[in-house]
Amino acid sequence: MIEVAFVTCRKLPGIHDDDGRAAEALRSRGVSVKAAVWDDPAVSWSRFTSAVIRSTWDYHLEPERYAAWLQQCAADGVNLWNPAATVLENMNKRYLIDLANAGVEVVAMKYLERGRPQCLRSILERRGWRHAVVKPAVSASAFGTWRTSLEGADVDQARLDRDVAGRCVLVQPFVDEVVTQGEWSLIFFGGEYSHAVLKRPAEGDFRVQEELGGHAVASEPPSAVIEQARTILARVPAPLLYARVDGIERDGRFVLMEVEINEPFLYIASAHGAAERFADAIVRTAAL
């Protein structure tokens, strides 16, 4: 029998309702599915046919321990999806710089190394950014993300200094399209496009996460957006079980915000057949 672990976290140890749809689709195919917390020392990951990272939503709070777990899975030959090496590269948003250097249109950024503070006002002035967003380079669910502006930069400098003292940080221009048009999330299973949602923040906010008041609506992107997302994904080391490509449309082009291949919410409930497509892709990983 194929045995699959959906990898979760201590705060939410069970299978999330959205992922539960895929779990039921797997069970209907004769596959055993159970939840397993990523840092539970009692779990023997090698016993599973496949271990699928799903809701490890606390990884950013202890990134070194999470990275060590990924490395141990690789050393033990665990059939982990997505693969440990690819997830390790994706954890830090520095990967966006590599994609930009490879020709992908990415939202602009200034990357600040841990322990190397810089003048926030100077960053904004040099790039002509009146409004900006500051976020940790390793983050989830908008953790530690905040807005700043040229007018408020001097006051916000102390906050930036505190952030950089403890972690690497990104400074990016505020993306108006997220508020005015919405942010696309395109979901791929086994490299094939499955479905998409358009996310918008709550009134007066800029963060699209549902736990912060944002909302997502099932929508079909223009075919050009799908193809551009597919081209971006082709630059990420394969194979991948799943990926979520986030970005906005600007003057008919898709501008990348993130490629999520660690623990993204996949909006399975939003699309007919998504659970079955994900289940089929998981079954195929059992043979790899």
CA 3 to mean position of chain CA atoms: 25
Q: What is the pLDDT of residues 176-227, one digit of tens each?
A: 888 889 899 999 999 999 999 999 875 655 554 555 455 688 899 999 999 9
Measure the CA–CA gap between 272 and 34, rounded to whole angstroms: 24
Question: What's this model's pTM, rounded to 2 decimal places?
Answer: 0.93
Predicted confidence (pLDDT) at residue 140 exceeds the cutoff of 90: no
Mean pLDDT of the chain: 92
Q: Which fold has domain 110-174?
A: Dna Ligase; domain 1 (3.30.1490)
The strand ranges marked E within 23-175 are 32-37, 50-53, 80-81, 110-112, 131-136, 146-149, 169-173
Same fold, 95-105+177-269 and 110-174: no
Q: Assign domain 3-90 one CATH number from 3.90.320.10, 3.40.50.20, 3.30.70.100, 2.30.110.10.
A: 3.40.50.20
Closest CA to 144 of 169, 117, 179: 169
Mean pLDDT of 23-37: 97
Can you give the pLDDT at residue 204? 55
Taking Cα atoms as reference points, which of 215, 191, 187 lies closest to residue 201? 215
Read off the tokens for 142. 């908008």
Of the two residues 98 and 212, the one the predictor is more confident about is: 98
Q: What is the dihedral of CA 261, 114, 144, 16, to 10 degrees?
A: 30
Q: Which residues of 31-52 are buried (b: 16+ CB within 10 A; e: fewer)?
A: bebebbbbbeeebebeebbbbb
For the purposes of burial, counting CB atoms within 10 Å of the CB of 91, is it exposed (0-12), middle (13-18) or buried (19 or more)?
Answer: buried
Residues 48-76: pLDDT tens digits? 999 999 999 999 999 999 999 999 999 99
Q: Judge whether residue 46 has pLDDT over 70.
A: yes
Asked if 159 contacts 146 with a C-beta cutoff of 8 angstroms, the reply is yes
Residue 106 DSSP symbol? B
- Tokens 């665990």, residue? 78
Calculate the dihedral angle through the C-alpha atoms of 135, 136, 141, 142, rounding to the nearest 10 degrees.
-20
Find the length of the chain: 288
- How far is it, in rounded angstroms, from Cα 16 to Cα 279? 15
Confidence of residue 282 (pLDDT cuts 50, 70, 90): very high
From CA 55, how far away is CA 57, in angstroms rounded? Answer: 5
AA letter at 19: D
**For residue 202, what is the DSSP state?**
P
What does the pLDDT read at residue 203?
61
Domain spans, the chain? 3-90, 95-105+177-269, 110-174
Q: Which of 286, 276, 208 has the alpha carbon at shortest distance from 247?
A: 208
Q: What angle do CA 170, 174, 177 make, to 5 degrees?
A: 130
pLDDT at 26 over 70: yes
Domain 95-105+177-269 fold is: D-amino Acid Aminotransferase; Chain A, domain 1 (3.30.470)
